A and B are shown apart, each in its own frame.
Chain A
């Protein structure tokens, strides 16, 4: 069971780094940065991200897709069949042309896989699933440096045909724009990280 972490405590720290756009353009708040780790709104992509002690509870709130929830959600309550619940979830995130089933390729693997992005509530779950599917480990994500600690980087092709690093945009935006995933390996992957 998660503690009732409210919205405010979720809003963490923005990286002190140069970016285009107004400060706090995709965050509702400007918080003073105390660590180099970037966090957006109430979405924390990874539980491993923060060095702070409250990272655990914050990470779980990364699973929430929408507005702050005042009450702890109880398993199986209200009693609605998941099939019915999921129909509305997927309605919120489905957009034109994107589809929720995407192919996943990994450099060096003999064949591709397909996954349903709808099944995952956020980046941690998605990456864990990918790790298990292809039997590898992804490093730690940071907005500045991408994935550290492994030679693999998860990337995706978006609606415009560009190859993007997984984890930069809010989850909803990611799902609606992701057309396929590719787990890049080695030096080619590094090239994407340059800010």
Chain B
């Protein structure tokens, strides 16, 4: 084994706080620390006592960073930690094989597994690239019979996989699928019918196929333990009568997120059955094709008033303005409001937002305009997270929000920690102002949709704005940049972005220096995704000292060549260097898409034909 430690990167996913896997050796490698020699007695008993004590203590340790540290103390602690780790976090499904993970951690009850690179969300990764759930579920079926929770992100999950999962784990409790595909309603039916202890079934932004199976009817007839059911991404009609009966026999239900095929009238009926809800996804919030089911506004208002625990509201997929005031009773309690599918203008927003003093999370479309954001800034003093999505996702769309909205938010929402902001124009001044006003920022993602757009007032590149962010926001761990950017911006990022773990770059930089600054400066960098930027082989090679500490590097439409990538592959044997071909390349030497990541397993065996592993 290599002396150099390959540490699996750790993600601070806000939804998950689970442990990680250190890839430091397959089994008991000396890390400069010898095994415990203070107990030199030949009898195993004292060691055993120590391990037992340790195990009882370690059971309480949940942070995976702490656990990784514990496992490095000595062999005894390594073993104790391994046996007490119940939550397994695998940030890259190809970094370690199921067998190896199972070998080390024998008593896992909860698995977090992430697959495809994030740019797959934007059609940059061809279909069938990989990230199959099957090898994991089939290995765990025999190894972890007491598995309770599975959280998958960007994995390919088939109906058979879901069926196997449902059949193999009698105590299975929670399934969360985020940005997954490959399965359909028949897989859901298997989970619903066989997982009798199921508490959580959350489908978030998945691509679910329609096998025309009525999965909602498949839950246990006598009653369920369901606490959370989210299917807002399922594009197919569900059997409403069955859904209503399901809600009626699920007394523990706290979170219900409906899809767009549930009308207002149907929503009302469900709310009446579940006044204990804390999280509600309202579905269409419109009339759809059922005018006969139209609900009186007063009745819906009353239903909201009865939901005294409701703190989190989303949905509004086809919302009808007339009904928006019905949510007023819950506004004062709301901590999270997601209007990002609702074409709502500033006036309509104001009528609602002025009541939302406790709001911490707010997602919206840019249809609310700068004026709407000003209203948010005036009222939501507790705001921690803001996301503004574009209604018209094109580069030359109408400018609905701008630096005006951003400035207002930074003035009004001083506790802001996370922002994702799509806009058509921006100024350095507004970004600098935010860096000064919001020192707690952990996530700053600004997307100026026009490529290479400068500060629209001064005509300058956006270097100073992003520079101020990394300089002033000392807690920043995630950054996405856009607009016209020179190497100078990357100089700032490398110099000041010492805590940055995730960096997304597109259409930026002048030369290899840009990437070099980042690779040499950002010592905590774990996830780097770059597209359409002029970084070449010499920049790539400048990061060799760091790649084993990263989860992955993605570079597409840059200036890489096969030679450069081969050199990296040769010098870094534990790095898997994938060259992905789309079929459009004319130049055989150029690398159009590079995806590389450290792995204990070497080149994966399931790579499709369009992937070449160097």
Chain A residues with CB under 8 Å of chain B are 69-71, 73-85, 87-88, 91, 96-97, 101
Contacts and interface: CB of A to CB of B under 8 A. Distances in A.
22 contacts: A69-B394, A71-B396, A73-B394, A74-B451, A75-B124, A76-B119, A76-B122, A77-B122, A77-B506, A78-B390, A78-B422, A78-B447, A80-B390, A80-B393, A81-B205, A82-B123, A83-B205, A83-B233, A84-B341, A84-B389, A88-B392, A101-B210
Nearest to B584: A1
Nearest to A75: B123
Contacts of B318: 91
Chain A interface SS verdict (over half):
loop
Given A77-B451, A79-B121, 16 more contacts: A69-B394, A73-B395, A75-B123, A75-B124, A76-B119, A77-B122, A78-B422, A80-B390, A80-B422, A81-B121, A83-B207, A84-B341, A84-B393, A85-B393, A87-B317, A96-B289
B588 to A, nearest CB: 19
Interface in B433-486: 447, 449, 451
B447 A79 contact: yes
Contacts of B530: none
A78 B121 contact: no
Contacts of A87: 260, 317, 341
B560 interface: no
A75 B119 CA distance: 11
Contacts of B393: 78, 80, 84-85, 88
B141 interface: no
**Interface size range on B against A:** 20 to 34
Interface string B115-140: 00001011110000000000000000
B391 interface: yes
A81 B116 CA distance: 14
Nearest to B122: A76
Nearest to A88: B391
Interface string B202-240: 000101001000000000000000000000010000000
A82 B121 CA distance: 7
Contact of A70 (B396, B447, B506): B396
B147 interface: no
Sorted from nearest, which 5 A-B pairs have the closest CB atoms? A76-B122, A78-B449, A80-B393, A81-B121, A76-B124
A87 B316 CA distance: 12
Interface string B487-517: 0000000000000000010110000000000
Nearest to A73: B394
B593 to A, nearest CB: 11
A70 B507 CA distance: 19
A31 to B, nearest CB: 26
Contact of B179 (A81, A97, A101): A81
